[in-house]
Amino acid sequence: MTDAADFAQLTEPFRAELLAHCYRMLGSVQDAEDQVQETLIRAWRSYDDFEGRASLRTWLYRIATNACLRALENRSRRPLPSGLGAPSGSPDGPLAGGREVPWLEPIPDARTQAGPAADPSDPSRRGHETARLAVG
């Protein structure tokens, strides 16, 4: 059995991209973080059964996707914030339920990037910084 430190070392490089994946599915930073935690807990519990037929990354993504889908199923049972999800009062109004997530929260780039791309000295990041200064 792998100890917790070894498991954390194996999975830590995937944490940021799993967060981005869960965020894209759920539209909420907090929900995404919860599902990344759930993913890592499930992966830890079943790591001894991991046969290595797929890469660790693929296996973690599969667990994360299933965790997010389960969270989305359960979300439909929770009440939505006021004005979201209720039928429109006007027949000419927009259709309810499209593919857009109306409560999509912004997420800082640094939370979803790992490795060289997260390095602030990376030249590709200069445009983000310039845009942030112009807007903020």
Q: What is the value of pTM for the model shown?
A: 0.61
pLDDT tens sequence across 60-100 = 999 999 999 999 998 766 555 555 555 556 666 655 555 55
**112 in a structural domain:** no
**26 in a structural domain:** yes
The whole domain housing 3 covers: 1-78
Please, what's the largest Cα pairwise distance for the chain? 60
Query: pLDDT band for position 124 (50/70/90)?
Result: very low
CATH number reported for the structural domain that contains residue 41 in this entry: 1.10.1740.10
Greater confidence (18 vs 85) lies with 18
**98 in a structural domain:** no
**51 in a structural domain:** yes
Number of domains comprising the chain: 1
**8 in a structural domain:** yes
**28 in a structural domain:** yes
